[in-house]
Amino acid sequence: MNKKTSWYTYFPSDLRWSRSICWMISCARWGGSEIGEVDQVCRRLSKKIGNDSHWLQEWSRMGEKIFVLGKSEENKGHFLTAAAHYLRACYYFQMGERLVSPKTEKSMSIYKKSIDSFKKYYKLIDRPLIEKVEVPLNRKKLPAYFVHAENTKKSKCPTVVFFDGRDVTKEIQFICGVKDMVRRGMNCLVLDGPGTGESVRFRKLYLRHDYELAGSAAFDYLTTRKDVNTKKVGVLGISLGGFYASRVASFEHRYKACVAWGANWEYQKTWKTRGVPAHSYMEIMNVETEEEMQEEFEKFSLKGIVDKMKCPFLLTHGANDNMVPMREALEHFRAVGSTDKTLRIFSEKEGGAEHCQLDNMILGTSYIFDWLQTKLK
């Protein structure tokens, strides 16, 4: 056990790898992984700890193995079994690829296969109903999935717009509990915003601080749908997405609830604590020097922004979060202008004490989804 964490670390010398493994294990309950498969890969990875090329190789190897299983079961007509395999293949491909920077021809090929795997998954499942959609943003489009609400007779349902974090994707977001969200009678629009997923890899939509533009674009898209109650739309963001969501709700007052799943206040002050190499940020920002990167980071502050927020607000934070200091969470929360706001800090004793509750994600998602259901009912 690493003394700096409240969860088991497979690789004590590499917190970035260990955090990813913790995330994979947490997502097993939603079908994103099988613990035995994760352990099998970790045993092979232990021979080359810290080598991201080896990381990509081993996870893509497992992803390929599971993809082949899915194809075999699909050919037999075992569609639900095949779908489960395809979902895990997608997750393994993406969790392997996400740490690779700069992106290579090989990593981009693996990413494309992950998208294909997810498409095969949602085409074969019986529920939930998932649509691949496009959200117009200026002259380009954000790729997204619209996941339909369940357990409701309403023709127009409350809806949550779900933005990803720095190295999260719409597929990984879906795996992080969206099936539980829609069971509560809410639609979910899960997007690859600028700087993430397909948007940055294939559409050259680079990371930007002014996410209110993407937030407004997402809301405008929802107004075109007949199955959305546009008076009951919330915005949710995970990790750096917590910055995005808070900024969106501060400028775009059509949103009626906001969740920052993981606190961020002044990102330029904390990015170095995350164990992410500078060149990884430079790639998604489309800048060539660290000086340019730092200049961009100066814009990633919520100071003087979130006091404009009016809708109900929830911020969740882990007491042992080693990526975002507690003071950042407290400053963020105190500055929010909403009169209806909630701060939920998860302790080590109860679980969920790490960044975005990665050590016990179900505690975080259950609290967040119940809160959204209450505020948007």
Task: Give the pLDDT mean for 149-161.
Answer: 98
Q: How far apart are CA 244 and CA 308, in angstroms?
A: 14
Give per-residue pLDDT as tens, 183-229. Answer: 999 999 999 999 999 999 999 999 999 999 999 999 999 999 999 99
Q: Which amino acid is at 257?
A: A
Q: Say whether domain 15-120 belongs to CATH 3.10.450.50.
A: no
Mean pLDDT (the chain) is: 95
Which of 12-21, 237-246, 262-271, 342-351 shows the lowest mean pLDDT across its residues? 262-271
Quickly count: other Cβ atoms within 10 Å of residue 73's Cβ.
Answer: 19
- Same CATH fold assignment for domains 15-120 and 127-376: no
Residue 317 near residue 262, CB atoms below 8 Å? yes
**pLDDT on residue 1:** 38
Per-residue pLDDT, 4: 59
**In terms of DSSP bridges, do strands 187-191 and 257-261 run parallel, antiparallel, or are they unpaired?**
unpaired
Question: What's the angle, vertex CA 99, arms to CA 297 and CA 117, rounded to 5?
Answer: 120
> Rounded to two decimals, what is the model's pTM?
0.96
- In the predicted structure, residue 6 carries a pLDDT above the cut 70: no
- Strands 228-238 and 157-163: what pairing? parallel
* CA 72/CA 84 separation, integer angstroms: 12
Per-residue pLDDT band for 277 (boundaries 50, 70, 90) equals confident
Instruction: Identify the architecture of domain 127-376 in CATH.
Output: 3-Layer(aba) Sandwich (3.40)
Which sequence spans correspond to the domains of the chain?
15-120, 127-376
Longest dimension (CA), the chain: 59
* 2 — pLDDT class (breaks 50, 70, 90): very low
